[in-house]
Amino acid sequence: MGAAAVGVMALVFGVGSFLQGRRASQTESRLAAFTGNASQSNPQIADEIVRDGLSSASGLWGSLLSRFKNLPMFFQQAESPLKPEQFFMVCGGSAVLCAVIARSPTALVPLAGIVGLSLPWGWLWWRRRCRFKKFEGQLSDALDLISRALRSGHSLGSGLQVVANEMPAPIATEFLKVHEEQNLGIPIDQALKNMLRRVPNMDLKFFVTAVAIQRQSGGDLAEILNKISELVRERFKILGQVKALTGEGRISGVVLLGLPPVLFAAVYSLNPDYVIVLFDTEMGRKMLFASGFLQILGAIAIKKIIDIKV
């Protein structure tokens, strides 16, 4: 079954590649191979068809797999206690458990499996986001600490070590990695860029850029770090005001998005026959699909309204 699917995909991609940039005579010859007209085709053309189709299919799979190349970095950013293979086992177990719990009615089993599969990913994303927010809140104090260390005569590397020793995680962990990379011979600006890749933060990018420019052209790095620290604090003040002004919209979004699933669960627990019509009839399935689509559109619209860039 799988080999047949791969073969069909290879043939389809082969046809697509022929239609883009092949001469008319070659296109006619290769189409003759598909129609079975032996007098207009030859074994070489058939071999080229299979070869081009397989190369196109491999390119497609390569592009799909390249989207997951940053998956180890995602686990590292979240400081996941589970390895990727263990995490995938947890995802499978969660999907099976939710499907078993919702085994009746049968129409809910696929939906429950999808929900169970997405729960571990939601936990991992939430863990990563919380870590980034904590890092962002500690960054201004860390910059002040480095600035004071520079004013007292320490080098930048020593200032990074002071942050690693004096401040809590996660910023201490990241600055400790930078200090260790520097001790192993990696240039400090490259070590800071590696930290920026692990923690993609706008304020941290200012710090990394300032260090790179100062090492090339010179200047008072302590004063620059003080300015960046003040900028970070001002941004936090503005973000606090924005959150206060958009609090009503955020709460409305949570209520509007969470109310339909809660009501569905409540009605299903009280009267399952009243809800099962949505899954057993064609009109009910269409209504579920339309409501889910509108829920997604509403979530996107509310996020666009309350998500103000500072």
3-state SS class at 226: helix
Find out whether 40 and 32 touch, Cβ atoms under 8 Å: yes
Q: Hey, what amino acid is at 203?
A: D
- DSSP codes of every residue in 261-292: HHHHHHHHHH-HHHHHHHHHSHHHHHHHHHHH
pLDDT at 51: 53
pLDDT at 174: 93
Where does the pLDDT of residue 68 fall: very low under 50, low under 70, confident under 90, or very high at 90 and above? low
For the chain, count helices (H), then strands (E): 14, 0
pLDDT at 107: 67
- The better pLDDT of the pair 45, 298 is held by 298
108 CB-near residues (< 8 Å, 6+ apart): 102, 279
**Is the pLDDT confidence value at 102 over 90?**
no
| Secondary structure letter of residue 40 according to DSSP | G
Q: Residue range 11-18: average pLDDT?
A: 43
Q: How far apart are the first and last CA of the chain?
A: 52
For residue range 230-259, list pLDDT tens digits in order: 988 888 888 888 888 888 888 888 888 888
3-state SS class at 22: coil
Q: 184, 260, 195, 167: which is closest to 209 by C-alpha?
A: 195
Q: 139, 221, 127: which is closest to 172 by C-alpha?
A: 139
pLDDT at 113: 86
**Is the pLDDT confidence value at 260 over 80?**
yes
Where does the pLDDT of residue 274 fall: very low under 50, low under 70, confident under 90, or very high at 90 and above? confident
pLDDT at 105: 66
